[in-house]
Amino acid sequence: IARLPKLTVLDLVYTLWPFWADTHVDPPFHKSGDGSIRDRRGQSIRLYPEVPSVLERLQSLQVPVAAASLTGEVEGANQLLELFGLVRYFVHREIYPGSKVTHFER
């Protein structure tokens, strides 16, 4: 039987989505009438296509997932997790500028 990790910690930037939430897009974000996620300028925001299935698989294996991100756009990053319906996969979120060491110590 393969051993599974006790916890998987993911960054957000270039792990869940292909941009920096504090520089490449313009918060706040919203869900448009067609169901897509857009920034203030109407630019479409997308996850990497594999993200939902990877998170679903980890959940099905009962592997807890946490987020650790250094983004300065804390509100926007959390908003994106909500809008994409990903919050339910994360048992813990450390999203704020600083050090990843601090994220892991908390």
Residue range 37-93, pLDDT digits in tens? 999 999 999 999 999 999 999 999 999 999 999 888 889 999 999 999 999 999 999
Domains of the chain with CATH codes: 8-105 (3.40.50.1000)
Hey, what are 60's tokens?
């099905």
Find the Cα–Cα–Cα–Cα dihedral 19, 65, 55, 10, rounded to 10°.
20
**What's the predicted TM-score (pTM) here?**
0.87
Hey, what are 30's tokens?
């919203």
